[in-house]
Amino acid sequence: MYCVIAFLIILFDQISKDIARGHLRLGESLPIIKNFFHLSLVFNTGAAFGLFRNETIFFILAACVAIIAIVRTLKFKIFYSNELSLESLSLILILAGAIGNLIDRIRFGYVVDFLDFRIWPVFNIADSSITIGAILLVIAVFRESKKSKRVESRE
3-state secondary structure of 45: coil
CA dist., res. 44 & res. 86, Å (int): 30
127 is a catalytic site residue: yes
Catalytic residue among 13, 104, 113, 116: 113
13 is a catalytic site residue: no
3-state secondary structure of 41: strand
CA distances from 54 to 11, 47, 117, 123, 147 (A): 26, 9, 24, 17, 43
Catalytic residue among 13, 104, 116, 127: 127
Point out which residues pair with 115 in neighbouring strands.
Answer: 39, 123
Catalytic residues, by residue number, are 113, 127
